[in-house]
Structure 1
Amino acid sequence: MSERSTPTFAQRIGYIWGRTLPASMSEWVRADLTGPGATRRYLVRILVPIIPVLSLFLLMPGPLWMGLAMMALLYLPLIYFTVALMYVYRRHRLIKHGLDPALADADARERSAADRLAYERKHGRA
């Protein structure tokens, strides 16, 4: 029996909670962390599950706006720090799975190289 290249449902839940997947799934992990939609998946995995917990503030006695304001006081900084730490999180997960941490910003380096080449062509340097 060959090893799986994609995680089972239980492995995927464990992965979302920070567990390491087997080496046979390295390509799946790389695609998950750096492929198309990686940013969206990262934000959804962190920002969506906390909403039901924060919704408990709506059960507090008082006007609705007060519960919403308490939710916002916690949720807005969470959004900010989640976005700010995305690169750090990606590098950490890549290292944890034995992959090159430079993959975390490979797309940005490719865009930068393309921009530089276009600039040099425009100004007669290439």
Structure 2
Amino acid sequence: MKRRRPTPWQWIGYAFGRRLPDSLRDWVREDLTGRYATARHIVRGLVPFTPLFAAFLLFPGELWLRGSMILLAVLLALFYTAAFLPMNRAHRLTAHGLPADLENPARARRRADERARYAARYPH
């Protein structure tokens, strides 16, 4: 029987950049191009930073100061995760043997419809 989802350990490795088995290629395609792919990418991008966030709790000082350090680190991690989303997505797709420019089929359909409407409205 073919597994539909990675195990928790496989998913953690995937979050850190490891390649999943070929049997999970359809799951990877859906994960990277499906509905809510951006939200999943941001959550997945924060996972490697969790040891850093936990380490900030061990620093000496008031709780509000340690919380502020964690908040700053989370904001920076969010910024870089969002900024490098297209490059990370393309890298993950190619690492799993999928085309780097693969996109959500519904989004591609909407874009083609918009182009067709534009071409019909503004012919050359």
TM-score norm. by structure 1 comes to: 0.72
TM-score norm. by structure 2 comes to: 0.73
CA drift of 1:56 comes to: 4.4
Moved over 6 A (4+): none
CA drift of 1:117 comes to: 2.2
**Residue 123 of structure 2 aligns to which amino acid in structure 1?**
R
1:39 corresponds in structure 2 to 38
Q: Distance in 2 between matches of 1:36 and 1:85?
A: 19
CA drift of 1:20 comes to: 1.9
The DSSP-based 3-state class of the residue aligned with 1:117 is helix
**Residue 68 of structure 1 aligns to which amino acid in structure 2?**
G
Between Structure 1 and Structure 2, how many residues are aligned? 123
Alignment of 1:53-72 (within 5 A): 53-72=52-71
The DSSP-based 3-state class of the residue aligned with 1:102 is coil
Aligned-residue Cα RMSD (Å) equals 3.0
Gaps of 5+ in 1: none
Q: Distance in 1 between matches of 2:11 and 2:101?
A: 24
CA drift of 1:90 comes to: 0.9
Q: Distance in 1 between matches of 2:15 and 2:81?
A: 15
Cα deviations by residue, 1:25-84 (Å, 9 ceiling, x for unpaired): 221211111111211111112225645742543454444442233223322221111001
Report if the CA contact (8 A) 2:33-2:102 is conserved.
Answer: yes
2:102 corresponds in structure 1 to 103
TM-aligned CA distance change 1:105 to 1:81, over 3 Å: farther
Report if the CA contact (8 A) 2:15-2:45 is conserved.
Answer: no
| Rg (Cα) greater in structure | 1
2:75 corresponds in structure 1 to 76
